[in-house]
Amino acid sequence: MSAYDKPDSWSLKAQKAGYPARSVYKLEEIDGKFRLLTPPRGGNPRVLDLGAAPGSWSLYILRHYPGAFLAAADLQALSRRYDGDRFDGPDFFFIQGDFTSPPVREELLRRGPYTAIVSDAAPATTGSRTVDVPRSLALAEEVLLYADQCLAPGGNLAVKVFQGPGAAELLGRLRRDFTGVRAFKPAACRGDSFETYYIGLGKRSKVEV
């Protein structure tokens, strides 16, 4: 078992709290710090979760924002171990597939616009930064395309990015599209990981909710 496979204190804490993955603490911290999921004009959030499996972020959203509508996508199925049938509810839509593909995009756009988009999506890592960073940036670019197409004005975005060449340009693009932009590494990120989250607050644009 590698150090990455071993359940650490964050993973054990997540399981005890009824979440399949430690990543829930990253969204919890981001949401607490930036009020990411609070809609700009009041009312219930409408959230898009890209790269959602095994489902901790989706469960966090459904548990903390009753009345929210949530659409989610992942290549993998969601874990059904902790959701207590929440993933069967009428305010939740999940599609298993590649969110960069046209049919998945169409299904997700059809259910928008959204007041927040979150993406914890990561490529299958090879251990080589020269391979993994561009793949992560390509996914993040696709997430920004969703923000262009279906994030409401004033809406917020959090997208995971592996740090490396090209990441600064992506941050520049966020600065153009959002009134507030931060690069933020939550405490629950593994110490040796080169992931960070780019946060876009208050989208400037024309999509109406």
Catalytic positions are 160
**CA gap 197, 159 in Å, rounded:** 5
**CA gap 161, 141 in Å, rounded:** 10
Residue matched to tokens 């793949």: 135
In this structure, the number of other CB atoms found within 10 A of the CB of residue 123 comes to 16
Q: Output phi, psi for 191, to 5 deg.
A: -55, -35
Mode of pairing for the β-strands spanning 46-50 and 114-119: parallel
What three-state secondary structure class fits 197? strand
Choice from 10, 21, 161, 178 touching ligand SAM (CB under 6 A):
21
Q: Does 53 bind ligand SAM (CB under 6 A)?
A: yes
Please identify, among the stretches 1-9, 37-45, 52-60, 171-179, the one whose residues bind ligand SAM according to the rule CB under 6 A.
52-60
Please identify, among the stretches 40-48, 63-71, 95-103, 178-186, the one whose residues bind ligand SAM according to the rule CB under 6 A.
95-103
The amino acid present at 116, given as its one-letter code, is A
Q: Does 199 bind ligand SAM (CB under 6 A)?
A: no
Q: How far is CA 104 from CA 71, 97, 153, in A?
A: 11, 7, 23
The minimum distance between CB 21 and ligand SAM, in angstroms, equals: 4
Choice from 72, 116, 121, 144 touching ligand SAM (CB under 6 A):
121
Return the structure tokens found at 185.
């590494």
DSSP state letter for 185: -
Question: In which element (H, E) is residue 26 found?
Answer: helix 24-34
Choice from 15, 100, 149, 205 touching ligand SAM (CB under 6 A):
100
Q: Does 87 bind ligand SAM (CB under 6 A)?
A: no
Q: Does 57 bind ligand SAM (CB under 6 A)?
A: yes
Nearest CB to ligand SAM, comparing residues 26 and 203: 26
Q: How many residues of this chain bind ligand SAM (CB under 6 A)?
A: 23
Choice from 36, 48, 52, 143 touching ligand SAM (CB under 6 A):
52
**CA gap 22, 124 in Å, rounded:** 18
The minimum distance between CB 96 and ligand SAM, in angstroms, equals: 8
Nearest CB to ligand SAM, comparing residues 124 and 206: 124
Q: Does 31 bind ligand SAM (CB under 6 A)?
A: no
Instruction: Kindly list the residues in this chain that would bind ligand SAM in the complex (CB under 6 A).
Output: 20-21, 23-24, 51-57, 73-76, 98-100, 120-123, 139
